[in-house]
Amino acid sequence: QDNIAVKANAVCKLTYLQMLGYDISWAAFNIIEVMSASKFTFKRIGYLAASQCFHEGTDVIMLTTNQIRKDLSSPNQYDTGVALTGLSCFVTPDLARDLANDIMTLMSHTKPYIRKKAVLIMYKVFLKYPESLRPAFPRLKEKLEDPDPGVQSAAVNVICELARRNPKNYLSLAPLFFKLMTSSTNNWVLIKIIKLFGALTPLEPRLGKKLIEPLTNLIHRFLISLSSGMPNHSASIQLCVQKLRILIEDSDQNLKYLGLLAMSKILKTHPKSVQSHKDLILQCLDDKDESIRLRALDLLYGMVSKKNLMEIVKKLMIHVDKAEGTTYRDELLTKIIDICSQSNYQYITNFEWYISILVELTRLEGTRHGHLIAAQMLDVAIRVKAIRKFAVSQMAMLLDNAHLIASNTQRNGICEVLYAAAWICGEFSEHLEEANQTLEAMLRPKVTTLPGHIQAVYVQNMVKLYASILQQKEQSGEKEAAQEITQLMIERLPQFVQSADLEVQERASCILQLIKYIQKLQIKEVPVAEEVIALFAGELNPVAPKAQKKVPVPEGLDLDAWINEPPSDSESEDEKPKTIFHDEEQRHSRHRQPEIDEEELARRREARKQEQANNPFYIKSSPSPQKRYQDTPGVEHIPVVQIDLSVPLKVPGMPMSDQYVKLEEERRHKQKLEKDKKKKKQKKEKRGKHHRHNSLHTESEEDIAPAHHVDIITEEMPENALPSDEDDKDPNDPYKALDIDLDKPLADSEKLPVQRHRNVETLKSPDSEAPLVEKKSKKPKKKEKKHKEKERDKGKKKEKEKKVIEEEEEKKVILQDLHYVRNCCYGPYLLLCSSVTYDIQGNLQNDSQVTVSVIFENKSTSFLKSMELNVLDSLNTKMLRPEGSSVHDGIPVPFQLPPGISNEAQFVFTLQSIVMAQKLKGTLSFIVKNDEGSTHEKLDFKLHFSCASYLITTPCYSDAFAKLLESGDLHMSSIKVDGISISFQHLLAKICFHHHFSVVERVDSCASMYSRSIQGHHVCLLVKKGENSVSIDGKCNDSTLLSNLLDEMKETLSKC
Amino acid sequence: MINAILVFNNHGKPRLVRFYQHLAEEVQQQIIRETFHLVLKRDDHICNFLECGSLFGGSDYKLIYRHYATLYFVFCVDSSESELGILDLIQVFVETLDKCFENVCELDLIFHMDKVHHILQEVVIGGMVLETNMNEIVAQVEAQSKLEKAEGGLSAAPSRAVSAVKNINLPEIPRNINIGDINIKVPNLSQFM
């Protein structure tokens, strides 16, 4: 509608609807209309709506660029403020790139209100457009010392956010922050600074010492944030922990929570000092607040030791029983497992206890972590050899009671443990006492209700069981029994053959056939057990999760090469082959075991034996477990049957871990006594007789020796695996991009793009000679310097420029015209500067056009308007004018310039030939408006198109380069420049930068370089550096272009 | 960084929703609902911090909330913010609302949602804390409303809007609004008056 007030009102209502969950993106265009209203009231509503619903995917967002820029430079500070606020919410990479410079300018706005907003927005800009960080950083640093506290805190805020991700780049700011910390009174700033130091101290230990004094002054107020940044100093840690204890004992829940949180941070660095407060933490577990309980749990994780593990886990188990709400219970469960399994089961002294804990956990209903328990069971059973017998007996019991676990609910996650149980029973069937019973349990019809992947494991492991039973029976000569068991299998297997799950079906039918064949042999009374058991010979080794990745690629194997030529038509998009492949892969991984060939196994066994021989902690596979049982009183009561009777009301056969706790205690007690005795003995007869104990002493620093000598098999890694820890890093981390060294001086190429351009480079090569330091200075200053430099360097331009300066003196008007030529971008690069509007994009596709970006800066106190730029076209180079205008018409500049403002406009030129450098005369006419009235003014200038500006930096590989040189259709020319003193490296950089070349190859003081012109000329250079001179041999399709280029290069180099 | 600021009433009806990263509307509503359930379960005497798991897509996030009469003010922040600091900030925000609306109540938030947003924008922008000094915030807010008044304000707009609506055939915008839903809101409002 025409009425903007109506529209604004509607948009305002839409914002409300958006809050209620309705998508209002369809109104994006209307929102933009309201944003561009001239009245603040409406503008504000528009920006609010935009900030709520615009995002990177909103396509109309690029229409806002100019509107936002206009608002940013509005004389009304609230217009600017509203635009900044809006921008903070919907800034996109394009917007960030285009507006970075404007926001930079606002950082030194006269109003602190704008300054602080601009500073905060810069962080968002950095995130979206990391290239802006380096140019903007000096100014950001300046803002740390801003007179306004608000701006100061904003700057601290931004730097903290930056430093949190990449602290090492901000170490150099430490002294500045130190000063701020001691002088500031603003709590917010202090908190932020302390957080920042928290990130910095790990990198610079000296900082910690320095911090102690001021921190102790602040300690009462900032204890909480302090702990995160605590220096590495034991006295202060002690103090800190003491204070935290007081906090945790406080009745205020918030303080309690924060105390625990801080405690956990200290725990990471100083576990010892926290461990003494175990009582307190355990108390917190009883708290009614879930947040506090979770924090306490976290703390416990770090506090366990061999001594207290059982006690802590026992307490946790009680909580598991009491816990209401599945989330908390699940959390408890994972924590128990985490605590026990941390650092390779370091704290577990009795694995029987651990297995029984795991079995107990399976009684939990409705937990989502069945697979976690299953994984633990598998892991322990595989890696702790001594425990296998016990584990198998427990698992057999689980299988026997499978109905209790599985029947509760189908969706129950806990049935995952059956997967582990079945596998363990099958794999280690030699330890099974009642194999028949277990096999029958696995063949129950009820099993078919389990999820497919579990059934598959069932089927597979049935055969393993069957094989071992068969062997047993045959050895004892019970042929009848052997045939019986075969019959049982044949009877029951068909229920799996009918399974809907393909995997189960396939395995079952395969095995059914096998067993039928066995039955035939049995009838002929051929002994088969040996052969059947051979199916499953060998042992599985645990493989480290990263092992696969670390297998080095064998030499000569190119993984990227096609094995077969890819089909040319669209067949490759067909999904079918893919799924088949996937299936196969899965099957492979499951069937892996029987497929391992004997030789490989033998080799592995040999390797492992050797490893074991070298491992002092490894006890040769002597029947040690049984022996140990005899040593420790009470353990022989373990037999499963007994427990079966003792807890008939519980799930039958579920052992109580408490028993083990008691047993363990007894064992420890006994051990202690023994040791005391031994000590006495040792006094008498220096050398103890008990070799076993000797070995125990060496093994653990603590007094408790593990009940089993546990061989925790280390996970296998492939031979000659490359040790690399960096493979976990996420390359997509958005903050990674901000990891930029800020201390390096800014290079020429790094400056904020002005308006539309990503790659603005100066046209005149002498101009860009400005030393690095100058570039670092503020933007306006830089321009001034450039301006002067231009004057100095450009002989031909001098007169014109002088005229300008005269003007400045007379009328206090100076317009600076900086000519930027962007090297034209083609192809994919074009997409990168996507903010270039459509018409320009089209232009750039053309290979005979260059875009000239001109920055206009108004240095006078008057208002400039109606600017018009005109260029006297040459035959070769013409300015692209709108259709219908004559060659003599100028192009109006699409903006007006208030005093002190700069802006950029672009003009497109068409070229016929690019082999020659070009100079164009031009005029800028404008109207100066001030209090006295308006006058018409003119300013003449010259545009210089050097040959280098037609070149595009194009990378080239050395082989392609060599081919190009061999092709022989290139013209050659060479120059020599004397009196070069700069380093070769520097020299190459200069050529690359000013003349848009890229280095192909560099050998000592010799380098080959390559570039391509916009019209596709290849330019190859061979640069050699002698004692004091440089010679450049060039080859190019066009001899004129080459000689012109070399001339330009000579000019550049002679200035070195 | 502050990731989101949510204000909802005792029944989970959103009163102010401000996400500092873009999320689809359904996801936003889902988060509001889940947050509401998380917060509702907790009584008033336990701590004001809450780990929200993967609700916001990262384990680093934490909910810090306060309960005032009928409204919950919930801030979702990451580890770079100080917990007590944010609690303080909520207090500042609420006190500022109180000052700007003179005895703020839930209805104020409903009828002046835009104004609440404008106040919030003076406290937090883009997920970062802009100003913690209440007087400064109030001064800026008042200066802006003065500017608005000078322009005639949006308050003048409804009357103009009514006349404008009368003069045109059914405008384009309302066509897409589900009017039934708006009607449902009305009885809800009256409950809390």
Q: What backbone torsions phi and psi does residue A288 show, to the nearest 5 degrees?
A: -80, -15
Q: Distances in Å between the alpha carbon of A763 and those of A27, A819, A936?
A: 43, 6, 29
User: Which residues in chain A have Cβ-Cβ distances shorter than 8 Å to B148?
Assistant: 40-41, 44
pTM summary value: 0.55
Nearest-angstrom CA–CA distance, A251 and A234: 28
- B46: nearest CA partner in chain A: A253
Residues A360-390 pLDDT 10s: 777 766 666 777 788 888 887 777 777 778 8
DSSP-based three-state secondary structure for A2: coil
Nearest-angstrom CA–CA distance, B21 and B127: 9
Q: For A399-408, A483-492, A590-599, which range has the lowest pLDDT when averaged over its residues?
A: A590-599
- Report the candidate in B41, B89, B45, B34 with the shortest Cα–Cα distance to residue B64: B89
Residues A267-312 pLDDT 10s: 776 667 777 777 777 777 777 777 777 778 777 777 777 777 777 7
B139 to chain A, closest Cα gap in Å: 11
A983 to chain B, closest Cα gap in Å: 45
CB A1013 within 8 A of CB A1019: yes
Give B 125-154 residues with CB within 8 A of chain A.
Answer: 125-133, 136, 140, 143-144, 147-148, 151-154
DSSP assignment string, A86-123: HHHHH--HHHHHHHHHHHHHHTT-SSHHHHHHHHHHHH
* pLDDT above 80 for A896: no
| Nearest CB partner across the interface for A15, out of B1, B84, B114 | B114
CB pairs under 8 A between A and B: 176
A41 burial level (CB within 10 Å; 0-12, 13-18, 19+): buried
CB A923 within 8 A of CB A890: yes
Cβ within 8 Å, pair B1-A161: yes
Q: Strand A902-911's sheet: what is its strand order?
A: A760-762, A815-822, A849-858, A902-911, A877-879
Mean pLDDT of A932-959: 74
- Mutation pick from B31, B41, B125 vs chain A, by most beta carbons of A within 10 Å, is B125
Give domain status of residue B9, yes or no.
Answer: yes
User: Which residues in chain B have Cβ-Cβ distances shorter than 8 Å to A18?
Assistant: 25
Question: Where residue A673 falls among pLDDT bands split at 50, 70, 90?
Answer: low
Q: Distances in Å between the alpha carbon of A394 and those of A354, A368, A398, A421, A1040?
A: 12, 22, 6, 8, 89
B186 burial level (CB within 10 Å; 0-12, 13-18, 19+): exposed
Mean pLDDT of A866-893: 74
Sign of CA dihedral A620, A622, A623, A626: negative
- Report the candidate in A540, A515, A631 with the shortest Cα–Cα distance to residue A594: A540
Cβ within 8 Å, pair A21-B83: no
DSSP-based three-state secondary structure for B10: coil
Give domain status of residue B28, yes or no.
Answer: yes
Give B 15-74 residues with CB within 8 A of chain A.
Answer: 15-18, 20, 22, 24-26, 28-29, 42, 45-51
Residues B133-163 pLDDT 10s: 888 888 988 888 888 888 765 555 555 555 5
| Nearest CB partner across the interface for B160, out of A3, A158, A254 | A3
CB A259 within 8 A of CB A248: yes
* pLDDT above 60 for A725: no
Reduce the secondary structure of A754-772 to three states and give it as a string: CCCCCCEEECCCHHHHCCH
* pLDDT above 60 for A700: no
Q: CA angle at residue A140 from A135 to A142, to 5 degrees? A: 115
What letter does residue B51 receive in the DSSP assignment? E
Cβ within 8 Å, pair A150-B176: no
Give domain status of residue B77, yes or no.
Answer: yes
| Nearest CB partner across the interface for A40, out of B28, B147, B177 | B147
Q: What's the distance, CA A424 to chain centroid? A: 37
Q: What is the pLDDT of residue A529?
A: 74
**What CATH code is carried by the domain that includes residue B70?**
3.30.450.60
User: Which residues in chain B have Cβ-Cβ distances shorter than 8 Å to A190?
Assistant: none
Nearest-angstrom CA–CA distance, A1015 and A913: 9
Mean pLDDT of A106-127: 88
Per-residue tens of pLDDT for chain B, all 193 residues: 888 899 998 888 888 888 888 888 888 888 888 888 888 888 777 788 887 766 666 667 888 888 888 889 999 888 778 788 888 899 999 999 988 888 888 888 888 888 888 899 888 888 888 888 888 888 988 888 888 888 765 555 555 555 555 555 544 444 444 444 444 444 444 444 4
CB B97 within 8 A of CB B15: no
Residues A210-259 pLDDT 10s: 666 556 555 544 554 454 445 555 666 676 777 777 777 777 777 777 77
Give the containing element (helix H, strand E) for A877. Answer: strand A877-879
Mean pLDDT of A519-523: 83
Cβ within 8 Å, pair A258-B84: yes
- Mutation pick from A9, A17, A19 vs chain B, by most beta carbons of B within 10 Å, is A19
- A225: nearest CA partner in chain B: B82
Cβ within 8 Å, pair B161-A6: yes
Q: Please state, rounded to an integer, the average pLDDT across all residues of chain A.
A: 68
- Report the candidate in A82, A165, A160, A96 with the shortest Cα–Cα distance to residue A124: A96
Give the containing element (helix H, strand E) for A1013. Answer: strand A1006-1013
Quick one: what percent of chain B has pLDDT higher than 90?
4
Question: Where residue A508 falls among pLDDT bands split at 50, 70, 90?
Answer: confident
- A121: nearest CA partner in chain B: B126
Give domain status of residue B139, yes or no.
Answer: yes
CB A635 within 8 A of CB A629: yes
Give domain status of residue B189, yes or no.
Answer: no
| N-to-C CA span, chain A | 64
Give domain status of residue B145, yes or no.
Answer: yes
CB A733 within 8 A of CB A726: no
Question: Where residue A395 falls among pLDDT bands split at 50, 70, 90?
Answer: confident
How many domains does the structure of chain B reveal? Answer: 1
Q: What backbone torsions phi and psi does residue A167 show, to the nearest 5 degrees?
A: -60, -30
* pLDDT above 70 for A971: yes
Give domain status of residue B161, yes or no.
Answer: no
A645 to chain B, closest Cα gap in Å: 43
Mean pLDDT of A649-671: 54
Residues A452-472 pLDDT 10s: 788 888 888 888 888 888 888
Question: Where residue A883 falls among pLDDT bands split at 50, 70, 90?
Answer: low
- Mutation pick from A7, A58, A77, A89 vs chain B, by most beta carbons of B within 10 Å, is A89
| Nearest CB partner across the interface for B25, out of A18, A42, A253 | A18
Instruction: Give the residue with greater pLDDT, A162 vs A734.
Output: A162
DSSP assignment string, A530-597: HHHHHTT-S----B-TTHHHHSPPPTT--TTS-SSPPPSSGGGG-SHHHHHHHHHHHHHHHHHHHHS-
Q: What's the distance, CA A913 to chain centroid? A: 48
* pLDDT above 60 for A60: yes
- Amino acid identity of residue B191, one-letter, is Q
Give domain status of residue B25, yes or no.
Answer: yes
Strand extents, DSSP E, A328-474: none
| Nearest CB partner across the interface for B125, out of A117, A153, A188 | A117
Mean pLDDT of A909-932: 76
| Nearest CB partner across the interface for B173, out of A27, A150, A186 | A27
What letter does residue A736 receive in the DSSP assignment? G
Other CB atoms within 10 Å distance of the CB of residue A246: 11
Residues A580-613 pLDDT 10s: 444 444 444 444 444 445 555 566 666 665 555 4
Q: What is the pLDDT of residue A314?
A: 80
The interaxial angle of helices A388-400 and A370-383, nearest 10 deg, is 150
CB A1024 within 8 A of CB A971: no
* pLDDT above 70 for A107: yes
Domain extent for B53: 1-151
β-pair type (A1018-1025, A1006-1013): antiparallel
Among A322-326, A697-701, A899-903, B117-121, the range with the most confident prediction by mean pLDDT is B117-121
Sign of CA dihedral A804, A809, A814, A818: positive
B103 to chain A, closest Cα gap in Å: 22
User: Would an 8 Å CB–CB cutoff place B181 in contact with chain A?
Assistant: yes
